[in-house]
Amino acid sequence: KAGVTQTPRYLIKTRGQQVTLSCSPISGHRSVSWYQQTPGQGLQFLFEYFSETQRNKGNFPGRFSGRQFSNSRSEMNVSTLELGDSALYLCASSLGGSGGVYNEQFFGPGTRLTVL
């Protein structure tokens, strides 16, 4: 079974631009979560989608948004990029049910975003 894939793996943008990152979950997984990883803040939860609906959201500004498609693939968008948005963005998928094995998350390799 293929793992979680993320594209692109590396991205360089300039301040003020916008960016879209893509995540393809493991086949059969209906939940996709996004995280931002930086050396200073560690892993911070952005949001989680399940069956095309945002089910949970972290404390990030509205510049960060996402969506999920009917095939469970997810995209994350960041508008008006700031230098502080430079980070590794990780996507994780899970079956998405409640408790136990259903919420075990499997991570992709991440997209390294650099904002200049």
User: Which residue type, as a one-letter code, is found at position 80?
Assistant: T
Whole-number minimum distance, CB 109 to another protein, in Å? 4
Q: How far apart are the first and last CA of the chain?
A: 37
Which listed residue (21, 26, 78, 92) binds another protein by CB under 8 A? Answer: 92
Q: Name the residue among 95, 103, 110, 98 with its Cα closest to residue 1.
A: 95
- On the question of a cis peptide bond just before residue 39, with omega within 30 degrees of 0, the verdict is no
Judged by CB under 8 A, does residue 50 bind another protein? yes
Q: Name the residue among 20, 9, 116 with its Cα closest to residue 75.
A: 20
Judged by CB under 8 A, does residue 60 bind another protein? no
Segment interacting with another protein (CB under 8 A) among 11-19, 60-68, 73-81, 96-104: 96-104
Binding residues for another protein, rule CB under 8 A, total 28
Which listed residue (36, 68, 74, 105) binds another protein by CB under 8 A? Answer: 105
CA dihedral 35, 93, 114, 60 (to 10 degrees): -30
Helix, coil or strand: residue 28: coil
Which listed residue (11, 20, 22, 45) binds another protein by CB under 8 A? Answer: 45
User: Which residues are at the interface with another protein (CB under 8 A)?
Assistant: 4, 6, 31, 33, 35, 42-43, 45, 48, 50, 55-56, 58, 90, 92, 96, 98-101, 103-110
